[in-house]
Amino acid sequence: MIKVMLILWYLFVGGLWLLLLAMIFSDAFETPFKKIQKQTVIEGIIPALFITIIFWMIALIPNFIGAVIQWIISLFH
């Protein structure tokens, strides 16, 4: 059951991450492919990188909590 919850958690966080990335690059997607300016894409990459790192950390929080709980339990055994 815990693995199912983790998979759902990863899907939820990944969906939010993709939604935010689509919002960042929405200006580039609305213009025709030949008229996409490199500057708008480069300006979108920097916040996309930060958002990716933040969502990566959020997605891995349950793993860190589980590792801490296992470490605390192993101290008492």
Sign of CA dihedral 6, 16, 35, 40: negative
> Domain tally for the chain?
1
Gap between the Cα atoms of 31 and 16, Å rounded: 24
Gap between the Cα atoms of 3 and 63, Å rounded: 11
Q: For residue 51, what are the domain limits?
A: 2-75
Q: For 17-71, what is each residue's pLDDT tens digit? A: 888 888 877 766 666 666 666 766 777 788 888 888 888 888 888 888 888 999 9
pLDDT-derived band at 75, boundaries 50, 70, 90 = very high
The pLDDT assigned to 2 comes to 74
- Which is higher by pLDDT, 76 or 25? 76
